Amino acid sequence: MLGIPSPSEYAKRLEPIEFYGKKLEVEIVEARLKNGYASIRNGKVMIRVPQKCSRKRKLRIIDELYGKISNAVRKKPGSFLGNSQLEFRDGEIIAPLSERLAISVRESGLVHSRVAIGNGMVSVKLGRDSSRNVSDLVSRALAKHYKSYVDSYVREWNRKFGSELGRISISRGLTIWGSCSPKNNISINLRLLFLDRKFLDYVVVHELSHTKVRSHSKRFWKTVAKYIPEYRSLRKELKIAGARIDTEFKEKPDSASAVENEKEAKKIAAETAPTEEKKNEIAQASGQRNMLDYFG
């Protein structure tokens, strides 16, 4: 469209948002939505705009939400440190371990909900049972899908430690990045798969160091430093990289022009409107304890 840039082109003109010394780049996602949303996820400012609306409206949404989220971070940055559960939506593009996957959610006649991962897709078929929390379904599927990779990754690092390991698993908890049990069972949080690889390395080394030293003594940190000399800075970066604004900023409806195609808008609204069950799940999730820099 002559004279009006695309959303992705427009995003390049926006200044990164300063957050505890780190510049958060702005990423635009066009999805099957009725309104626009913005959030901080995995070290980026994510602004979602409806696919089916004019380019002019998309840019207006971007401007409005960029301003809101910038002001929120500037006024109360400390309230955004820490994490909550991963959230996934229909039409979203995710990149665990840098593998781009598009999420597709559809109703089905199945009794139980199913999730399949393959060919660049995370396909969710919602069944008639109670397991209809898309984020939970996708999280479980991703943990299962990447389990063998994480197992191999931890054991490859362990060649440097020479420890006898127990079970390696991927956790989906809200309070720890990783843990190591007395039997050397190691758990790695799923969220790390969405962050820079250096954070995964740090947490893996941290937990493997516990196979040698159980406490967080000087000897323990000396072991960590042997493999990750910059561990102090990574600990600080991890809090920011994993930071997230859980309350999303909705586009403010202002006039009839905000919805240019009423028929299409109603269709999208019907497809995306949350059920009462979903609203309750979101409310419960928002009250969960944040994940900070704790380790087992």
Secondary-structure breakdown of the chain: helix, strand, coil percentages, each rounded to the nearest 5: 40, 20, 40
Supply the pLDDT for residue 251. 62
Buried b (16+ CB within 10 A) or exposed e, 23-42: ebebebbbbbbbbbbbbbbb
| 38 φ, ψ (degrees, to nearest 5) | -140, 145
Supply the pLDDT for residue 246. 41
Supply the pLDDT for residue 224. 98
Q: What residue spans define the domains of the chain?
A: 7-83+243-286, 93-145, 147-241
Specify the residue for token string 């430690």.
161
**Distance between CA atoms of residues 142 and 115, nearest Å:** 9
pLDDT tens sequence for the chain (296 residues)? 557 888 888 888 888 888 766 778 888 888 877 788 888 776 678 888 888 888 889 999 999 999 888 888 777 665 555 555 678 888 888 999 999 999 999 988 888 999 999 999 999 999 987 667 898 999 999 999 999 999 999 999 999 999 999 999 999 876 689 999 999 999 999 999 988 999 999 999 999 999 999 999 999 999 999 999 999 999 988 877 766 544 455 666 543 333 443 444 344 344 444 455 544 443 443 333 222 223 43
On whether the CB atoms of residues 85 and 175 are closer than 8 A, the answer is no
Supply the pLDDT for residue 122. 97
Q: Where are the beta strands (DSSP E) in 166-274?
A: 168-171, 178-180, 186-189
Supply the pLDDT for residue 114. 93
Taking CA 234 as the corner, what is the angle to CA 99 and CA 210, rounded to the nearest 5 degrees? Answer: 95
pTM above 0.95, yes or no: no
Supply the pLDDT for residue 36. 85
What are the tokens at 168? Answer: 């390696």
CA dihedral (187, 192, 194, 199) positive or negative: negative
Supply the pLDDT for residue 79. 56
Supply the pLDDT for residue 32. 78
CATH assignment of 147-241, among 3.30.230.10, 3.40.50.620, 1.10.1760.20, 3.30.2010.10: 3.30.2010.10
31: amino acid identity, one letter: A
